[in-house]
Amino acid sequence: MATVQAAGQALSAAGQAKAAAPAPQAQPIPGAPAWAQQLAQQMAQQMTQQMAQQMTQQITQQITQLRDDLVPFRAMAARAHNRTVPHGDRFEVVPCTAQGPNYGLLPPNPPVTAAQLTAMRRAQLDPLLQFYVLPVNGTVREKCMRLARHLGINFEA
């Protein structure tokens, strides 16, 4: 939670710094030729663009880190919701919390009701179990129950 607060504070500070920082202005150089004045102005514009690009990159990195920090909380909230869903109602899709390429993502075509989950075949269960980095061994019923437990769904398949 401290990381989330720190990222929020960093984002706020970065936004304030960007807003407060005056854009560099090329000061006229007394007695300098026009080409030198123009070069100074171009350099000031380039520096402003570089600063904006760096600030944007930093903010993007902080937002990504904040989003990644929130994944476990999103998963816990979805599982908590799923534990209370009456049979037949839609449940929340749980994001992947296993480190790897699917971290923070939602699976494609997940079951959203208990009926859909219990009707799944091996060919549908295996990719979901792999997505969540869960074991794919066992019978279809065992796989269904493993996925249900992972999603926070309480029922007997």
Domain assignment present for residue 143? The answer is yes
Number of domains in the chain: 1
Decide if pLDDT at 20 tops 80: no
Other CB atoms within a 10 A radius of the CB of residue 50 amount to 10
Domain assignment present for residue 116? The answer is yes
Pick the more confident residue, 111 or 18: 111
Name the nearest CA neighbour of 75 among 92, 98, 94: 94
- DSSP H helices, the chain, are 2-20, 34-84, 114-118, 122-131, 140-151
- In whole angstroms, give the CA distance from residue 104 to residue 69: 9
Domain assignment present for residue 23? The answer is no
- In whole angstroms, give the CA distance from residue 48 to residue 149: 53
Decide if pLDDT at 142 tops 50: yes
Mean pLDDT of 19-39: 72
**What is the reported pLDDT for 67?**
87
What domain range is 40 assigned to?
1-18+34-157
Pick the more confident residue, 31 or 62: 62
Decide if pLDDT at 157 tops 50: no
Domain assignment present for residue 47? The answer is yes
**What is the reported pLDDT for 88?**
83
Decide if pLDDT at 11 tops 80: no
- In whole angstroms, give the CA distance from residue 92 to residue 106: 10
- In whole angstroms, give the CA distance from residue 151 to residue 134: 12
**What is the reported pLDDT for 30?**
81
Domain assignment present for residue 28? The answer is no
**Top mean-pLDDT range of 1-5, 35-39, 145-149:** 145-149
What separation in angstroms does the CA of 20 have from each of 13, 23, 147? 10, 9, 51
**What is the reported pLDDT for 94?**
97
Prediction pTM value:
0.65
**What is the reported pLDDT for 96?**
96
- In whole angstroms, give the CA distance from residue 24 to residue 52: 12
- Is 145 within 8 Å of 154 (Cβ atoms)? no
pLDDT digit string, tens, across residues 57-104: 999 999 989 888 999 999 999 999 999 988 789 999 999 999 999 999
Burial degree of 54 (CB within 10 A; 0-12, 13-18, 19+): exposed
Residues in the chain: 157
